[in-house]
Amino acid sequence: MSTEPVDVLIVGAGASGAALAWSLAETRMSILCLEQGGWMDPAGYPGMKGHGEASQLGEFAFSPNARGRREDYPVNDGGSPIAVSMFNAVGGSTILYAAHFPRFHPSDFRVKSLDGVADDWPIDYRRLEPYYDVNARMMGVSGLAGDPAYPPKEVPLPPVALGKLGETLAGGFDRLGWHWWPSDSAITTLEYEGRAPCINAGTCLSGCAQGAKASTDITYWPPAIRQGVKLETHCRVREITVDENGMADGVVYYDAQGVERRQMAHVVVLACNGIGTPRLLLNSRSKHFPDGLANRSGLVGKNLMFHPYAMVTGIFAEPLEGYKGPTGCCIWSHEFYETDLARGFVRGYSFEMLRGFGPVSTALWGMGWGRIPSGVDHHRAYAELFDRTAGIAAICEDLPEAGNCVTLDGDLTDADGIPAPKITYRLSENSEKMLEHSVARATEVLEAAGAREVLVQSPLPFAGWHLMGTARMGADPERSVVNEWGRCHDVKNLFIVDGSIFVTAAAVNPTNTIQALALYIADTMKKNLANLFD
């Protein structure tokens, strides 16, 4: 490892770090990314060996606490009704995500102006629109143009096949006269840029061995590395250091052998997700920043937003072939997205329709519900469920609350002794009402589609996979951590590009918007290179 300072040091090789690295590569600056995980080997994904859905209970579990890999750090989320999910590797959580890939709505950037709650973003949909388009091309997004829930947008590839399950659920929406549309998915449906098309294996949530699901290890990182970006794996950053002027000057990290090292940098970019980034900032104390780096506002770690999820599963009499097809990408509905106060809450939610369970998941899910006993009744009970289920996930917008936060745990540390994050979170009354409404509407859809029974889990406890708000963006340094292009108000050579900078959460999966923001921030950095720290 060189002791020379690099021009740009990126911490984290996930969704946002990869997009930013690729965008900055053309500047030919010396760019280094440190990632605490490693490269994944697609040949080792469980779907290559069997119907390994139960691997999600082990090394491919959503929760870092369940996995306990060397690359993981523990998260104290026992005080939260929603448990945190994330993955540490080149590609970050895109290794395990479903690749459901909606954009924000224009109204999601104007929550205060339109609905009188939370805050407005200092940017709007039109500002991000060209970056959504770039991201669609780079990630290989499939979908269908013309969705009336969105302004006109580019979709490079045709939508994933809906199949019998998708058509059945669409029928339910049609009978009610509600909106539905094929989902935008970061899944290639044709051969695209050297990637193979989706083969409907249904193993998305434990890694895509086909390479059709867009994780950033196969999308942004290869061209970024070809253009000279350096990526060092199994390097865990402990803290960001500052010079005598309070400017970031590098990081202290543990290398792959666990040896403590120092890397100097002229610019530091954090891309560690909405838990990892505030954790790193809070762990980076100095005389300039006794409460954590870039935290003079006191807002680092505050305003943590998840998406409270309800999961409503319909049991049908006929087979749906639901074990085929991308697990979380089929159709969506934005019928209840925009605010209608007559519903009893402000803001709204989206529906993401889910495929059915594979053979192992059916057994484990049914066991969890007490529906699949062992013994003489086993086969009868199993046959009533296998290939007979379809799910509707309600993704509810979470409003920012200062009391929902990430702090440092006083006792828990990772394997390198770095204090772990602690989550304090409660569901708001608005979220509870929204969940209740979404469950009732999802039940209506499933019954209209022909479900003979509906099972509800609300809130979904393991659904803390969208991590937002903990280093929020804004124009006022007293009410935000970063400015409108991701630069920390307090440290002008420190940038944040992950979901921490979200002002509001919208009611859709955040990865597309996270990456669009990262591309926008990178572009703005490039345009301001001459006076980047002014």
Partner 1 sequence: MNEGKNDRRFSEDELETLACVLDHVVPPSDDGRLPGAGKVGVAAVVDEALHRMPEVRGMVAQGLSALDALARRRSSRAFATLPRDQQAELLNELAASEDAFPPILLLHVYNGYYQQGPVLEALGLEPRPPHPLGYEVEANDLRMLERVRRRGRLYRDC
Tell me which residue has tokens 């911490």.
11
Min dist. Cβ of residue 301 to partner 1 (A):
30
Which listed residue (203, 216, 263, 438) binds partner 1 by CB under 8 A? 203
Residue 379 binds partner 1 (CB under 8 A): yes
In the stretch 254-273, what mask flags binding to partner 1 with x, by CB under 8 A? Answer: --------------------
Which listed residue (179, 230, 371, 526) binds partner 1 by CB under 8 A? 179
Question: How does strand 6-11 pair with strand 260-270?
Answer: parallel
Binding segment for partner 1 among 78-86, 109-117, 224-232, 395-403 (CB under 8 A)? Answer: 109-117
CA proximity to 300, closest of 508, 123, 469, 98 = 469
Residue 246 binds partner 1 (CB under 8 A): no
Which listed residue (12, 92, 143, 166) binds partner 1 by CB under 8 A? 166
Which listed residue (44, 79, 113, 479) binds partner 1 by CB under 8 A? 113
Residue 358 binds partner 1 (CB under 8 A): yes
Which listed residue (41, 174, 291, 318) binds partner 1 by CB under 8 A? 174
Rounded to 5 degrees, what angle do the CA atoms 391, 433, 177 make?
Answer: 50
Question: How does strand 31-34 pair with strand 230-232?
Answer: parallel
Residue 422 binds partner 1 (CB under 8 A): no
Note the Cα 367 to chain centre separation in Å: 28
- 8 A C-beta contact, residue 35 and residue 521: no
- 8 A C-beta contact, residue 165 and residue 356: yes
Q: How far from 103 is each of 106, 128, 499, CA to CA, in Å?
A: 9, 10, 14
Which listed residue (9, 83, 118, 170) binds partner 1 by CB under 8 A? 170
Residue 162 binds partner 1 (CB under 8 A): yes
Residue 499 binds partner 1 (CB under 8 A): no
**Phi, psi of 530, rounded to the nearest 5 degrees:** -70, -25
DSSP state for residue 458 in the 8-state scheme: S
Min dist. Cβ of residue 115 to partner 1 (A):
10
Which listed residue (14, 202, 278, 499) binds partner 1 by CB under 8 A? 202
Binding segment for partner 1 among 21-29, 158-166, 262-270, 309-317 (CB under 8 A)? Answer: 158-166
Rounded to 5 degrees, what angle do the CA atoms 67, 405, 487 make?
Answer: 95
- 8 A C-beta contact, residue 265 and residue 9: yes
Q: How far apart are CA 411 and CA 37, in angstroms?
A: 23
Binding segment for partner 1 among 372-380, 396-404, 466-474, 487-495 (CB under 8 A)? Answer: 372-380
In the complex with partner 1, the residue whose CB is nearer, 162 or 449, is 162
Note the Cα 23 to chain centre separation in Å: 20
- 8 A C-beta contact, residue 201 and residue 210: yes
Tell me which residue has tokens 């639901």.
322
Tell me which residue has tokens 């329709």.
353
Which listed residue (221, 386, 485, 502) binds partner 1 by CB under 8 A? 386
Binding segment for partner 1 among 238-246, 257-265, 362-370, 407-415 (CB under 8 A)? Answer: 362-370
Binding segment for partner 1 among 8-16, 166-174, 254-262, 410-418 (CB under 8 A)? Answer: 166-174
Quick one: 23 exposed, middle or buried, by C-beta within 10 A (0-12, 13-18, 19+)?
A: buried
For helices 429-449 and 163-176, angle between their N-to-C axes, nearest 10 degrees: 110
Quick one: 261 exposed, middle or buried, by C-beta within 10 A (0-12, 13-18, 19+)?
A: middle
Binding segment for partner 1 among 20-28, 146-154, 235-243, 462-470 (CB under 8 A)? Answer: 146-154
Residue 374 binds partner 1 (CB under 8 A): yes
In the stretch 300-339, what mask flags binding to partner 1 with x, by CB under 8 A? Answer: ---------------------x-xxx--------xx-xx-
Residue 106 binds partner 1 (CB under 8 A): yes
Stated length of the chain: 534
Q: How far from 201 is each of 41, 185, 189, 323, CA to CA, in Å?
A: 17, 15, 13, 8
Beta bridge partners of residue 421, listed in sequence order: 408
Min dist. Cβ of residue 511 to partner 1 (A):
20
Residue 378 binds partner 1 (CB under 8 A): yes
- 8 A C-beta contact, residue 107 and residue 113: no
- 8 A C-beta contact, residue 273 and residue 467: yes
Which stretches within 107-178 are classed as H helix? 111-115, 125-139, 163-176
Min dist. Cβ of residue 313 to partner 1 (A):
18
Residue 176 binds partner 1 (CB under 8 A): no
In the complex with partner 1, the residue whose CB is nearer, 292 or 325, is 325
Residue 123 binds partner 1 (CB under 8 A): no
In the complex with partner 1, the residue whose CB is nearer, 108 or 414, is 108
Tell me which residue has tokens 């740009």.
8
Q: Provide the residue type at 293 as one letter.
A: L
Residue 151 binds partner 1 (CB under 8 A): yes
Q: Which two tokens stand for residue 66?
A: 């369940």
Size of the site for partner 1 (CB under 8 A): 68
Residue 51 binds partner 1 (CB under 8 A): yes
Binding segment for partner 1 among 196-204, 422-430, 479-487, 493-501 (CB under 8 A)? Answer: 196-204
Binding segment for partner 1 among 135-143, 239-247, 355-363, 425-433 (CB under 8 A)? Answer: 355-363
- 8 A C-beta contact, residue 278 and residue 470: yes
Residue 384 binds partner 1 (CB under 8 A): no
Residue 52 binds partner 1 (CB under 8 A): yes
| Residues near partner 1, by CB under 8 A | 45, 47-52, 54, 57, 105-107, 109-110, 113-114, 124, 144, 146, 148-151, 159, 161-164, 166-167, 170, 174, 177, 179-182, 198-203, 209-210, 321, 323-325, 334-335, 337-338, 358-360, 362-364, 367, 372, 374-376, 378-379, 386-387
